[in-house]
Structures are given as structure tokens and as C-alpha cells.
Chains A and B, each alone.
Chain A
Amino acid sequence: MLTAIIAITLLALILGLVLGFASIRFKVEGDPIVDQIDKILPQTQCGQCSFAGCRPYAEAIAAGEVDINRCPPGGESTIQALADLLDVEPKPLDEECGVEKPKMLAVIDEDRCIGCTLCIQACPVDAILGAAKHMHTVIANECTGCELCVEPCPVDCIDMVETQPNPHTWRWPDPSHVDLQRRTGS
């Protein structure tokens, strides 16, 4: 009886020490779930989810304050990935936030640009280059297609164009869709 009590007490003590040590040794800095959610979000920084960027939205999701279906640029695949990560049911995209669109790119009509710098201030990723009273231009590789620069432009010289695939970024079509087309065609 006594040996059993001593053994169990000792065991509890040792395991407690191990756990205590582990909690200090392997302490996790920050909130890993926010980072994981942020990694899934497309980083468009467009604010269509009503938050000021992707990170605040990730924090709100992690806190359980909002739904996972408020990201139109990410679309269905992002919702699916978030649902997998958080182990919840995927939902259709919230229409309130917008609709899923193909990838876009902002293009400044350089003849019409008056160099007001308003779009530079609006761009969340500093992808617009220019100075006051000088023509501005978009760094195509760094544009996320968030459309935040379109609204402030006083002369309406910014257009959103769909990005065209080149042979390098082209993707093979989904064969199951090809089959479907054939079936409906015949």
C-alpha cells in the first residue's frame, strides 16, 4: 500500500517536473494559429472582409469573432483551407464582401495620370511608383489586384485588367471539366 502511494507520488513528481521543464523549454512565442490563418489568406490586403488587411482578419478569425467566408480574393479554395485548418464546416462566400474574380492587375493610363500621389498613398503594398506632379506606374509583379487605388484617382486613369497567362504560368485544363464540356457538347 505504502509503496504504491510512494511510487505514484514519485511518478507524479517526475512527470510534473518534465512537463514543467517542457513548458519553459518549448515555449511558443506569439499565437501560432493566427500565423497559420494569415498564411492561408491571399495577402491581397484589399479590406473587402471589412478589416484593415489580412492579418487583422486572421486575428479576428482566431478569436472566433468572424466567419471564415469573408475573403473574396481567396475564394472557395481559401475557405476550404481555413475550414480544414480550424476543423469547421466550409461555407459559401459571403456575398456582402464581394464575389470571387479572376486575378487582376492595376494598370495606370500614363497619358492621363496627373501625378497626384493619391493612389500611392492608397496602395497597401507600395506597388505604385512615382512622385508628386510626375507620372506614376504600377510595379506589375508586386500588385496584388486589391483595387484600392481605383477609387482615390481623381482623373479615373487606373484600370483593373485580368492577368493573362503566359506559357510559363499556363496551367493544363482540368480533364474532368473537359469531359463535361464534351458531354454537354455532344
Chain B
Amino acid sequence: MSAPLSRFPGGLKLPGHKKRSTQQPIRKTPLSKHLVLPLQQHIGAAAVPIVEVGEKVLKGQRIARAEGHVSVCLHAPTSGVVSAIGEHAIPHPSGLSAPCITIETDGEERWIERQQIADFRQHSAHELRQIIRDAGIVGLGGAGFPSFIKLNPGVHHTVETLLINGAECEPYISCDDMLMRERADGILDGVEIMLFALRASRCILAIEDNKPEAISAMRYALSGRPHLSQTEIVIVPTRYPTGGEKQLIQVVTGKQVPSNKLPIDIGIVCHNPGTAYAVGRAILHGEPLISRVVTVTGTDVTHAGNFETLFGTPIKDLLAFCETRRQPDEPFIQGGPMMGYSLAGDDLPITKTANCILVGVEDVAPPAQPLPCIRCGDCADVCPASLLPQQLYWYSRAKDFDKTRDYNLFDCIECGCCDYVCPSKIPLVSYFRFAKTEIMNQEREHQKADLARERHESRLARLQREQQEKEERQRQRKAALAASKAAKAKEEATTSSESTDSVTEEKA
């Protein structure tokens, strides 16, 4: 039935290390005393709080509303009292703080009233998207883009294929794998709603061939839904980074998403199975997004596994529950060993984009001083985006950012394949991240400069106008004065002439 698979350039065959975290079913993380919820857990504008300190909240109650179009709402993951609204450390590579809402939990887990929709087909796609937005659903694969936008085909696009990305190619991470094994039906609920909202004609569930249990679970669930005849499971070979959106599309459909374009431009929309599951829960059960499955694994973790964790749960509580050999304040990785970033600090919460907490990576080389680039070209061979990492490195290092753009820096997905193969141990991705944020900063500064120029020019124009008006007024006043003077003079002249006239008349 399915077309033969294609492949993407480059990539790597990596040891999976997934067994460690797939021995146990998904477990629930115990409720923490405090939950810290950053207002921005998604791409776009931060949500705006609609609760006050001291207010009692129920599980699933909306505590912050979406601001602007690219934004989603935020909900209380459990019942309790809002104890603080303010700056708190967030899990971000910068280690900076951001506005957060802190909830002191009461342990009662009292739900707010849930609006369940039995037959979503009675509703319009627009209404469903609105519910998904209000439920705070974002892409759970890691980027956190608001899902309702990706479920809107718009007027200019026709979506042919919905692609569910169950590749999960990065080593150690297994949250999507476990979700597909245990909640395949829930995922298909979401898939049906997504297909309806997108008016898509078919759905492909792509799963890597190292997850046979997930494949059979999804197959079994699919066999119970004969009306989903246009949905098929495609088994893709295990190769890193197959889970990259553009890479997976290339493998499954053979089509390349052009640079600076989105998959929707070629009629494809890609979602994570976790997102599909969340959509199903939101529509059919009225539950907003308040928790996610997080993989906790690594060589230093005693009870590795997958944990359904409420957002805002301190990562240290989660790690304590799994028992680790980690010392307090020792750094750990959020995400996988290839694309994740190191975090330090014990006070960081689990957010919507936290798919994996990794403590201790196997056979990792000790950090070595990078050697000069020998231009071996290995990085270009493994680059899945067909870029030239050595050139990009060269220009990033020299801060020649215009040149990095010419070499399509922004097509880099930061998969880390180049880092992995570099014989000189150059931290290439660090250079690319540095260059990307520098370019974005330059752009912000340019915009700010343009605004300043505009405001300065309009100020000068205003001052000039005021000056002119002043001069005009002065001139008018002078003219009026002169006119009145002239009138007076004339009057005097006429009276004097009249008198002379009368004199002459008298003379005559």
C-alpha cells in the first residue's frame, strides 16, 4: 500500500540506550508541595495571568490567558492556592529567570467542571481549534509551537497528509515510545480530530523500526477503527535524526521541504503522538494540558523510566523519586544527549517541552580542548540538511554573520551530528547557536534603530513645524500691527486731508 521509502542525506547510526527506560510502564510522579509554572512554555507571546496571589484554584482551571495570536493558555495542574506570581528560575540554557505562577498544592486534586464533547464532528474545525488553544496544547516533541495554528490549513493551503512523528530518533528518550505502547487508542482519538480539523485526506504514523512494541500496539488500536482506512503505519529505519520534521517528511514521502518554507507548503502537517493524545483528551474529555510523559534516564539514575508528571513539578522532586546518584546542583541534561542542553540548579520546574531528563551519559568523551579544523569534511557528510558545517564554523568563528546566512545557517536543525563525528572535537553546534542568536539580536537592534530613526525624524519634523507656526504667528502679529498702524495713519491722513479740504473750501 505504501510507497517505497526514501532517505535523507547524512545522518548517523547511534546506539539507542532506550532499554533502560522502557522496562517499566508509565508511572505517575507523586504530587509536589509547590508547582512553578512559567508563563511562557511555548513559542510566541507569554500568557497573561488571570489569577491573583492567594486565590484558590482547581485542577484544570485556567490561570493565564493567551496573549495575541501565537500564544496559548495555561492551567493549574492541580488544586491549591496561588502562592506567588513573579520571577523564578526556568529551565532555559541561559539560566535566567522569567515570570512564573507558583501554586501551593492542597493534595485534594479537585477538578474544575469539564466540558466533554462526545461527537466532535458536530462542531466546526474552528471551534475545535479554539478548544485546543484554550486547553493550552503545544507541540510536545520539544519545540512547543502552539498546536492550534498547525491544525489550521488556512485558505491558501490544502493539507493532503497528516504525519504523526513517532520516530523518536534521539538516544535515551522513550516517552513517545511508551505513550504509543500504552495509550495507542488515545493517540488515535487525537488523530481523528486532527484529520477532521485539517480536512486532510490521509494520515501516516511513522515509527522507527527499533520500537516493535509501539508498532504492534498502534497496529492493534488501528485495527479496531475500520473507519480510519486512510491511516497507515509506516516503519522507518532507525537513523538519527529521522525524527527531524523535514527529515521524516523526506523519508516517508520522498519530498523535500524547501529552505525557508514550512511542511504545509507541500501539503504536509507533522505532529507528535503526545500532541495527538493531548488533543484527544482536550476534546473528548475536556482536560486541558496539565501533564506530560517525561523520560528520566541516564547512567546515574537507579529507577529509570517514564513518568506522567504535572507541569511545574520541580525536577529535583522527579529525580528524587527516581533515585539518582546526582549531587545537589550537579548539572543534568534536558532533552537528549545530541540536542538537549545542560541545566544546573535544583529549583527548575518541568515544562510542556521537557521530554527527557538525562543524568549521566554513557561512553561520553571527556571534554577536550578543540583542535584546529583539518577540513576533513566528515561534518558535511553527516549533515542531514546538506549544509557545509566547516564553512559555517569558519564564518561563525570570524563573526562574519552575513556569510553564515549565505551558507544557510538557519537551515541547521542543531542535530549535533557534526559535533559527534568531528575528529578535532570542535563544538560546532555551539558555534551555530551562537551565530543564530547573534544574528537575531542584530535584527532586533536594526528594528530598534529603524524605530529610533523614525521617531527622531518625526520629532525633528514636529519641532520644525512648531518653529514655522511660531514664525507664522509672529509674522501675522506683525502684519496685523502694521495693518492697524497703517489704518491709523490713513485715518489720520484722511482727517488731516479733510481738514485741509475744508480749509481750501473755506479759502474758496
Q: Which A residues are closer than 8 A to B by beta carbons?
A: 38, 41-45, 53-55, 124-127, 142, 144, 165-167, 169-176, 178-179, 182-183
Q: B455 contacts A125, CB within 8 Å?
A: yes
**Given A43-B449, A142-B452, A144-B452: A175 touches B96 (CB 8 Å cut-off):** no
- Of all chain A residues, the one with the shortest Cβ separation from B427 is A175
Of A53, A125, A170, the contact of B96 (CB 8 Å cutoff): A170
Of A171, A172, A173, A182, the contact of B369 (CB 8 Å cutoff): A182
Apart from A125-B456, A172-B437, A183-B369: 9 A-B pairs, beta carbons within 8 A: A43-B452, A53-B460, A54-B456, A126-B458, A144-B452, A167-B40, A171-B437, A173-B434, A182-B369
Q: B370 contacts A179, CB within 8 Å?
A: yes
Q: A124 contacts B430, CB within 8 Å?
A: no
Report A-chain residues with C-beta under 8 Å of the C-beta of B455. 125-127, 142
Q: A45 contacts B452, CB within 8 Å?
A: yes
Report A-chain residues with C-beta under 8 Å of the C-beta of B449. 41-43
Given the complex of chains A and B, what is the CA–CA distance between A115 and B90 in angstroms? Answer: 39
Given the complex of chains A and B, what is the CA–CA distance between A53 and B444 in angstroms? Answer: 21
Of A125, A165, A169, A170, the contact of B452 (CB 8 Å cutoff): A125
Given the complex of chains A and B, what is the CA–CA distance between A42 and B447 in angstroms? Answer: 10
How many A-B residue pairs have C-beta atoms within 8 angstroms? Tell me. 71
Report B-chain residues with C-beta under 8 Å of the C-beta of A173. 434
Of A54, A165, A172, the contact of B453 (CB 8 Å cutoff): A54
Q: B452 contacts A44, CB within 8 Å?
A: yes
Residues 425-461 of chain B, each 1 if its beta carbon lies under 8 Å from chain A, else 0: 0010011011011100100110011111101101110
Report A-chain residues with C-beta under 8 Å of the C-beta of B430. 172, 175, 178
Shortest CB-to-CB span from B220 to chain A, Å, is: 42
Within 8 A of A (CB), among B450-496: 450-453, 455-456, 458-460
B98 sits at the interface (CB 8 A): yes
Report A-chain residues with C-beta under 8 Å of the C-beta of B94. 165, 167, 170
Residues 78-101 of chain B, each 1 if its beta carbon lies under 8 Å from chain A, else 0: 000000000000101110101000
Given the complex of chains A and B, what is the CA–CA distance between A43 and B455 in angstroms? Answer: 10
Within 8 A of A (CB), among B165-191: none
Q: A167 contacts B98, CB within 8 Å?
A: yes
Shortest CB-to-CB span from B157 to chain A, Å, is: 29
B397 sits at the interface (CB 8 A): yes
Report B-chain residues with C-beta under 8 Å of the C-beta of A142. 451-452, 455
- Of all chain A residues, the one with the shortest Cβ separation from B437 is A171
Report B-chain residues with C-beta under 8 Å of the C-beta of A43. 448-450, 452-453, 456
Report B-chain residues with C-beta under 8 Å of the C-beta of A165. 94, 96
- Of all chain B residues, the one with the shortest Cβ separation from A53 is B456
Shortest CB-to-CB span from A106 to chain B, Å, is: 13
- Of all chain A residues, the one with the shortest Cβ separation from B87 is A166
25 A-B contact pairs sorted by A residue (CB < 8 Å): A38-B453, A43-B448, A43-B449, A43-B456, A44-B452, A45-B452, A53-B456, A53-B460, A54-B453, A125-B455, A125-B459, A126-B458, A126-B459, A142-B452, A165-B94, A165-B96, A167-B90, A167-B96, A167-B98, A169-B444, A171-B434, A171-B437, A172-B93, A172-B433, A176-B397
Residues 333-363 of chain B, each 1 if its beta carbon lies under 8 Å from chain A, else 0: 0000000000000000000000000000000
- Of all chain B residues, the one with the shortest Cβ separation from A175 is B430
Report A-chain residues with C-beta under 8 Å of the C-beta of B459. 124-126
Given the complex of chains A and B, what is the CA–CA distance between A183 and B370 in angstroms? Answer: 11
Q: A170 contacts B369, CB within 8 Å?
A: no
Report A-chain residues with C-beta under 8 Å of the C-beta of B436. 172
**Given A166-B96, A166-B98, A182-B369: A171 touches B452 (CB 8 Å cut-off):** no
Report B-chain residues with C-beta under 8 Å of the C-beta of A44. 452
Q: B437 contacts A175, CB within 8 Å?
A: no
Shortest CB-to-CB span from B312 to chain A, Å, is: 17
Given the complex of chains A and B, what is the CA–CA distance between A124 and B462 in angstroms? Answer: 12
